[in-house]
């Protein structure tokens, strides 16, 4: 006769077996059905990878549009009034530059000239770059990461962005031929910066007088002294005077020609990426729950609450989506590194916030999908346990 109520205490099995008894059923299922869950994790990984790459592309295009503008050591940008916030059309006279400088002080303002010009790469091809004329010692001077800064005597000197060196195949110490219209001029690269692009082109810095010569063919007080002015100060954005107006950097960035169209395209891509990615992940887990309705019925028939069952589903969804995102993130990062090695890199860039924000949102979308599964779990009638066949 079997005695179910024997009071004798059996020795416990191994500590591992006891720990196993505490493990969630949802996680045990993942462990036992590895192939099924590996395939699901693979799908989540691929979708997460796709969404991360789209977001990286968004950030990359943004940076290409004008990260140099965002990196200016300024709170606001002043334009000539008739330019309509266009750097290309903006021209500030020497009088206006003096007036603005006096208003904000020499330490909180700096004139900056802009012109797009061509240059010859080391293999003789012609490419274009954004040439920015600045005054050494002002807030317009870029940070130099290699080589040396420009001095007032470096009339033929250039500071170039690292992307310029990558595209052109040139290096610090090399001479580069710059051409605009019919004028050609040789410059010496004296230093490297890491300020990024301006107007979708690598930023190249030169003295303001050299910029005047490049743009207008000569330099002098009768020619426009700058395209824009960089301003610092709480009240700089929104300020203005006769013939000039200033806006903050975000507004200035949004007014770069082509940026607003590009931004809306990228935002639409990101939105659809999240929507479709999230929907696919959510539907996937919903279908997974539908497949387990029989088991859910059994669990409810033996007394499990809907919440208990939902917890098992949720833990599976979170575990799989976190694993998927955790694999996709370094994969996207490695792809980006690889793409940066090619001669004409795809403009993909990742920031910590891109990774963290995108990953968190994807996991959240998966949890939302699981929430829909929760409704299905609540609706399962335990009576179906009577009809279940093993």
Partner 1 sequence: MNVTLEVSALSKTYGSGEQAVHAVRNAAFSTQPGEFVAVVGPSGSGKTTLLAMIGGLLRPTAGAIVVNGRDIAGLGRGEQAAYRRDTVGYVFQANNLLPFLTARENLLVMAKITRANGKTAGARADRLLAELGLERRANAVATELSGGEKQRVAIGRALMNDLALVLVDEPTASLDSARGRQVVLSLIAEVKQRGKLGLMVTHDMDMAMLADRILSMHDGEMTEIAKPSPAAG
Q: Which residues contribute to the site for partner 1 (CB under 8 A)?
A: 1-6, 9-10, 12-13, 17-18, 20-22, 24-25, 28-29, 32-33, 295, 298-306, 308, 382-383, 385-390
Which of 178, 180, 198 has the alpha carbon at shortest distance from 188?
Answer: 178
Shortest spacing between CB 2 and partner 1, in angstroms: 4
Helix (H, G, I), strand (E, B) or coil at 115: strand
Cα gap 115→131, rounded to integer Å = 5
Residue 303: CB partners within 8 Å, gap ≥ 6? none
Q: What is the DSSP letter of 226?
A: B
DSSP code per residue over 153-202: T-TTEEEEEHHHHHHH---TT-EEEEEETTEEEEEEEEEEE---EETTEE
Decide if 206 contacts 133 (C-beta within 8 A).
yes
Q: Which is nearer to partner 1, 188 or 383 (CB)?
A: 383
Complex with partner 1: residue 266 or 377, whichever CB lies closer: 377
To partner 1, the closest distance from the beta carbon of 13 in angstroms equals 6
Give the residue among 188, 191, 183, 190 at the shortest CA–CA distance from 213. 183
Nearest approach in angstroms of CB 383 to partner 1 is 5
Helix/strand/coil for 127:
strand
**In the complex, minimum distance from the CB of residue 366 to partner 1, in angstroms, rounded to a whole number:** 21
Tokens 């040439």 found at = 131
User: Do residues 141 and 135 touch, judged by C-beta distance below 8 A?
Assistant: yes
Nearest to partner 1 of 182, 386 (CB atom)? 386
What are the tokens at 270?
């990101």
- Whether the CB-CB separation of 35 and 315 falls below 8 Å is answered with no
What would the two tokens of residue 8 be?
């004798």
Shortest distance in whole angstroms from residue 376 CB to partner 1? 15
Q: Are the C-beta atoms of 97 and 111 separated by less than 8 Å?
A: yes
Q: Shortest Cβ distance from residue 5 to partner 1 (Å)?
A: 5
Could you report how far apart the first and last alpha carbons of the chain are, in Å? Answer: 29
CA angle 268, 50, 359 (to 5 degrees): 90
CB closer to partner 1 out of 16 and 261: 16
Residue placing its CB nearer to partner 1 in the complex, 249 or 300: 300
DSSP 297-359: HHHHHTT--HHHHHHHHHHHHHHHHHHHHHHHHHHHHHHHHHHTTSSS-------HHHHHHHH
Task: Report the nearest approach of partner 1 to the CB of residue 20 (Å).
Answer: 7
Q: How far are the Cα atoms of 29, 96, 288 from residue 369, in angstroms, in the given order?
A: 19, 59, 11
Closest separation in Å from C-beta 290 to partner 1: 17
| Sequence-distant (≥ 6) Cβ neighbours of residue 236 within 8 angstroms | 74, 75, 76, 104, 108, 246
**Smallest separation (angstroms) from partner 1 to the CB of 36:** 10
Minimum distance between the CB of residue 316 and partner 1, rounded to whole angstroms? 12
**Residue 254 or 385 with smaller CB distance to partner 1:** 385
Query: How far, in Å, are 46, 207, 282 from residue 231 at the CA level?
Result: 45, 19, 48
Q: Which is nearer to partner 1, 172 or 385 (CB)?
A: 385
Nearer to partner 1, 28 or 276 (CB): 28
* Identity of the residue, 31 or 89, whose beta carbon is nearer to partner 1 in the bound complex: 31
Nearer CB in complex with partner 1: 252/380: 380
């Amino acid at each position: 006769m079997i005695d179910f109520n024997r009071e004798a205490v059996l020795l416990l099995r191994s500590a591992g077996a006891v720990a196993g008894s505490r493990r969630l059923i949802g996680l045990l299922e993942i462990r036992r059905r590895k192939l099924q869950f590996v395939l699901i994790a693979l799908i989540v990984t691929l979708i997460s990878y796709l969404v991360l790459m789209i977001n990286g592309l968004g950030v990359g295009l943004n940076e290409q549009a004008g990260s140099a503008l965002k990196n200016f050591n300024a709170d606001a940008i002043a334009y000539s009034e008739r330019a309509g916030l266009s750097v290309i059309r903006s021209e500030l006279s020497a009088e206006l530059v003096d007036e603005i400088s006096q208003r904000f002080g020499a330490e909180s303002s700096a004139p900056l000239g802009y012109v797009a010009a061509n240059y010859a790469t080391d293999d003789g091809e012609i490419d274009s770059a954004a040439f920015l004329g600045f005054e050494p010692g002002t807030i317009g001077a870029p940070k130099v990461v290699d080589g040396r800064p420009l001095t007032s005597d470096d009339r033929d000197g250039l500071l170039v962005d690292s992307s310029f060196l990558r595209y052109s195949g040139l290096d610090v110490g090399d001479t580069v031929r710059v051409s605009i219209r019919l004028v050609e001029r040789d410059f010496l690269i004296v230093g490297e910066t890491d300020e990024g692009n301006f107007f979708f082109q690598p930023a190249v810095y030169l003295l303001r007088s050299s910029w005047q010569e490049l743009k207008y063919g000569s330099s002098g007080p009768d020619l426009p002294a700058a395209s824009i002015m960089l301003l610092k100060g709480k009240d700089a954005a929104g300020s203005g005077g006769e013939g000039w107006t200033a806006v903050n950097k975000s507004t200035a960035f949004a007014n770069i020609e082509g940026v607003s169209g590009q931004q809306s395209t990228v935002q639409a891509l990101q939105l659809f990426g999240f929507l479709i990615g999230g929907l696919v992940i959510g539907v996937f887990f919903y279908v997974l729950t539908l497949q387990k309705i029989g088991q859910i019925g059994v669990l409810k028939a033996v007394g499990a609450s809907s919440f208990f069952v939902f917890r098992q589903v949720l833990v599976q969804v979170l575990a799989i989506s976190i694993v998927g995102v955790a694999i996709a993130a370094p994969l996207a990062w490695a792809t980006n590194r690889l793409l940066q090695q090619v001669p004409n890199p795809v403009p993909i860039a990742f920031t910590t916030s891109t990774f963290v924000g995108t990953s968190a949102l994807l996991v959240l979308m998966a949890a939302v999908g699981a929430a829909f599964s929760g409704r299905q779990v609540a609706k399962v009638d335990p009576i179906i346990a009577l009809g279940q066949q093993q």
